[in-house]
A and B are shown apart, each in its own frame.
Chain A
Amino acid sequence: MITRMVEVRAKVLKQNDLLARTLRERFRQEGTCVVGLVSSPGSGKTAFLEKVLAGLARDSRVAALVGDLATENDAERLRRATPNVKQITTGTVCHLDAQMVEKSLESWRLDRIDFLFIENVGNLVCPSSYDLGEELRFVLLSATEGEDKPLKYPTIFNTSDVAIITKMDLADAAEFDVQAARRNIESVRPGMQIFEVSAKTGNGMQAVFDLLHAQLASARRVAVTR
Chain B
Amino acid sequence: MHELSIAISMIDQITEESANRGGLDVEAVHLRLGVFSGVDKDALLFSWELACEGSCLEGTRLVIETIPLVIYCAACQKDRVPPSVYQLSCPECGTPGQKIITGREIEVASLEVVA
Binding site for B on A (CB under 8 A): 1-16, 93-95, 97, 125-126, 128-129, 150-152, 154-156, 158-159, 184, 186-191
**Closest CB pairs A-B (n = 8):** A190-B96, A126-B2, A128-B38, A151-B86, A155-B38, A2-B115, A154-B86, A12-B106
Closest to A5 in B: B110
9 further A-B contacts with Cβ under 8 Å, apart from A3-B28, A8-B108, A95-B2, are A9-B107, A11-B106, A14-B13, A125-B38, A129-B39, A187-B86, A187-B88, A189-B88, A191-B96
Our pick among A15, A154, A190 for the contact of B98 (Cβ within 8 Å) is A190
Our pick among A4, A8, A150 for the contact of B109 (Cβ within 8 Å) is A8
Distance of A151 Cα from B85 Cα, bound (Å): 8
- Contacting pair B38 A190 (CB below 8 A): no
Q: What is the CB-to-nearest-CB distance from B109 to chain A, in angstroms, rounded to a whole number?
A: 6
* Chain B residues touching A, majority SS: mixed
Q: What is the CB-to-nearest-CB distance from A18 to chain B, in angstroms, rounded to a whole number?
A: 12
Complex contacts, A93 vs chain B, CB 8 Å = 2, 5
Complex contacts, A14 vs chain B, CB 8 Å = 13
Distance of A4 Cα from B110 Cα, bound (Å): 10
Q: Is B75 in the interface zone, CB < 8 Å from A?
A: no
Q: Is B52 in the interface zone, CB < 8 Å from A?
A: no
- Contacting pair B88 A125 (CB below 8 A): no
Our pick among B1, B100, B111 for the contact of A8 (Cβ within 8 Å) is B111
Distance of A191 Cα from B109 Cα, bound (Å): 33
Number of A-B pairs whose CB atoms are under 8 Å?
Answer: 114
Q: What is the CB-to-nearest-CB distance from A95 to chain B, in angstroms, rounded to a whole number?
A: 6
Distance of A129 Cα from B1 Cα, bound (Å): 11
Distance of A38 Cα from B39 Cα, bound (Å): 17
Closest to B18 in A: A6
- Contacting pair A155 B36 (CB below 8 A): yes
Q: What is the CB-to-nearest-CB distance from B30 to chain A, in angstroms, rounded to a whole number?
A: 8
Complex contacts, B110 vs chain A, CB 8 Å = 5-9
- Contacting pair B5 A3 (CB below 8 A): no
- Contacting pair B113 A6 (CB below 8 A): yes
- Contacting pair B6 A129 (CB below 8 A): yes
Interchain residue pairs with CB less than 8 A apart (15): A3-B112, A4-B112, A5-B112, A6-B24, A7-B109, A8-B109, A13-B6, A93-B2, A97-B5, A126-B1, A129-B2, A129-B37, A151-B86, A159-B38, A188-B85
